[in-house]
Amino acid sequence: MRQVLLILIFFCTVSSHGQNNGQNSIIALTKADSLQIIKFQNRLKSANDKEKLELYYNLASLYLSKNDSVATIHTELLLQNATAINHAQSKGRALFLKGKIISPSSSIRALDYFQEATAILEDSEDRSLKDVYFEQSQIHNLFSEFPEALDYGFKSLEFNKINDIEENILRDMSFIGYIYDRMYEFEESINWNRQALKIAKRIGNKKGEAHCYGRIGIAYDELAEKDNFNKRLFDSALYYNKKAAKLSESINDLAFSRTTYSNIGNTYSKLKDYKRAEEYTLKSLAVPGFESRKGVTLVNLGKIYLETKRFIEAKKILDSAMQNTLKYGTRKYQLEAYYRFHELDVKKGDYKSALNNYIEYKSIEDSLLNETKTRQIAEMGERYKTADKERQILIHRADLAERDLIIQKRNAQLFGIIGFAVILIFIGYLFYNQQKLRNQQLEKESELKDALLKIETQNRLQEQRLRISRDLHDNIGAQLAFIISSIDNLKYGFKITDQKLNDKLTSISDFTTETIYELRDTIWAMNKTEITFEDLQSRLSNYIDKAHVFEGKINFTFQVDKDVDIKRKFNSMEGVNIHRVIQEAIHNSIKHSNSKTIKVKVENFLEHLKFTISDDGQGFDSTNVEKGNGLLNMQKRIHEIGGKFEFESYINRGTKVSFVI
């Protein structure tokens, strides 16, 4: 009786859809889908119980993105028939479809359905798993549960790699990159999306290509902000986001167009181009639908009004943003809304409210980025890499086993045609050959064990590096940043009339900022087993650019001779010591020499690499001046890496520091 009722509801739904739109619901689908639906419905008339289960699943899947009500009817028929004949696999599929249908409006209930479906479908390795894991990854990411999101993302990628489903491999790799972006691992995000972009271009997937461009743009935007608002990185963010916007517009992907407009507006806002920022942000908000994802865009518009001193409009928009984040449970956007309220209160002089909003902001931030989750993230990333390596080894072993089997069969065939007269000779040869193969196999197993031991040792060393660098970044880095923020809040929140106290606070803030830069350099070196010359050159160029900004009267030059091998690599100690010595030399010239020009030159010297830092300042008599800690530290650093250090200075003729590696 229930099945008859569902069929009647189905026909009523189709009829109603046809009356509302002037056509039958099947016509709203593509021509190919419509033909498939007609074919499946005709087959239902004569299908047995198990065949009906497959047909109901196919019909529900086809209707899923076009007509949820019709998809729901076929899903209920699938679940009812699967329960009646106790077919677990089809029941798991039905639960997955129920979750898909309600996920836009009820993510928590959808997650329950997906988890029930996973428990059933994993036993049979059902093809629905190619999407079940991904759907769970999306929901966990929406709720800022990043370790869980990564776990399901890697499971989805592993399943689709094993089954060679390239469209889903592209989707999963790009989304894993997006999860890393949400966790502030921006370079990792760029790496994953660049890999996904290659697949998208190769298989001609324009939507996937647009998503990769957009997510690379997001990562560059965040990376630029992290790197002291680096203009070059912001330009990269705009380049990739505009490519994403153009491509998504061309394929009428409204959802991603909306997101990309918002991201472009946010980048212009950081560049203080508020006119363009407002233009793109309003363009994003004008796209209909997608209400659960508009919280961050409303926050961005509030910031624009805030920076352009339209405080009343800023308050209204931020109130709307907060209501949106509370309604849809998007804590990441709620975090940003609290921070903008804090900025608004500071500008209005309401420091008590500003402090309360800042406390709320820090509370959410700490819960999203706590130490336990960071450790889980690293463990899941390594777990996926290990599983991927093991899968490759198993595939290779299977190939070897298959080849050995073929060889054995051929030997057996040859053995059959050999006469009785040569049996004893053949047996002797066979024994010798088997012994030889056994010895070779033992040698290969020994080599494999040695290789695996080396890999395990390297992995442990890398894990130690990652753990230490994360501890430095998450604990010491966060504490130093909190000190700077606290000092700034003291200076803005209290009217300090004592100039000495104000100068002392400024001095502490500057020293803490400098310590953060030193910490970043240390983490940079620790995260690399090798440092290329290009890495070193880029790092030094950034330091010189920053020095030029603060000492505009000094002319800086950085010259690398053409015959220098730019592919050369240094170990982490060599790289950081070279970087520190050049920093110290430039710092001393700026502080003491009163020079107009500072030059850094890299050249070949007797098959070695020579670095020279010179200035045209006032100099001093190096024979009558005792070496200070700075010079002694530079000399010690170069000696530590087996180099030769030289220093010379003459009154009114400048100072020159050089060392050979």
Place of tokens 């805030």: 306
Amino acid of residue 150: L
Q: Is the distance from CB of 144 to CB of 329 less than 8 angstroms?
A: no
**Predicted local confidence at residue 5, as pLDDT:** 42
| Mean pLDDT in order along the chain per 10 residues (661 residues) | 42 38 43 76 81 80 72 82 84 84 79 87 84 90 88 93 92 94 92 95 94 94 90 94 94 90 90 92 88 84 89 90 85 83 86 85 73 49 57 68 75 78 81 80 76 66 61 64 74 73 75 70 68 81 74 82 84 84 87 88 88 90 71 89 90 91 89
pLDDT at 154: 94
The helix (H) or strand (E) run that includes residue 169 is helix 166-182
Give SS3 for 36.
helix
Topology (CATH level 3) of domain 532-660? Heat Shock Protein 90 (3.30.565)
Q: How far is CA 403 from each of CA 83, 412, 413, 440, rounded to the nearest angstrom? A: 46, 14, 16, 16
Residue-level pLDDT at 218: 92
CA atoms within 13 A on the CB side of 248: 22
Closest to 303 measured CA to CA, from 267, 356, 331, 332:
267
Name the residue among 183, 323, 387, 547 with its Cα closest to residue 192.
183
Query: How large is the angle between the packed helices 351-368 and 478-493, nearest 10 degrees?
Result: 170
CA distance 466 to 382: 11
Q: What is residue 174's predicted lDDT score, i.e. its pLDDT? A: 94
Give the DSSP H or E segment for 404: helix 371-417
Q: Provide the 10 A C-beta neighbour count for residue 286.
A: 9
What local confidence, expressed as pLDDT, does residue 543 receive? Answer: 77
Give me the half-sphere count of Cα atoms (radius 13 Å) on the Cβ side of residue 487: 18
The three-state secondary structure class of 571 is strand
Domain ranges in the chain? 384-417, 418-527, 532-660
Pairing type for strands 644-650 and 597-605 reads: unpaired
Q: Is 166 exposed, middle or buried (0-12, 13-18, 19+ CB in 10 A)?
A: middle
Q: Which residues of 224-254 are buried (b: 16+ CB within 10 A; e: fewer)?
A: bbeeeebeebbebbbebbbbbbebbeeeebe
How many Å separate Cα 605 from the centre of its chain?
42
Minimal CA–CA distance to 269: which of 297, 239, 303?
303
Q: Who contacts 391 (Cβ-Cβ below 8 Å, separation ≥6)?
A: 158, 161, 162
pTM of the shown model: 0.49
Sequence length of the chain is 661
Q: What is the DSSP letter of 642?
A: T
CA distances (Å), origin 645, targets 380, 598, 649, 660 = 46, 19, 14, 7
- Those residues with Cβ within 8 angstroms of residue 238's Cβ, 6 or more apart along the chain or in another chain: 217, 264, 267, 268
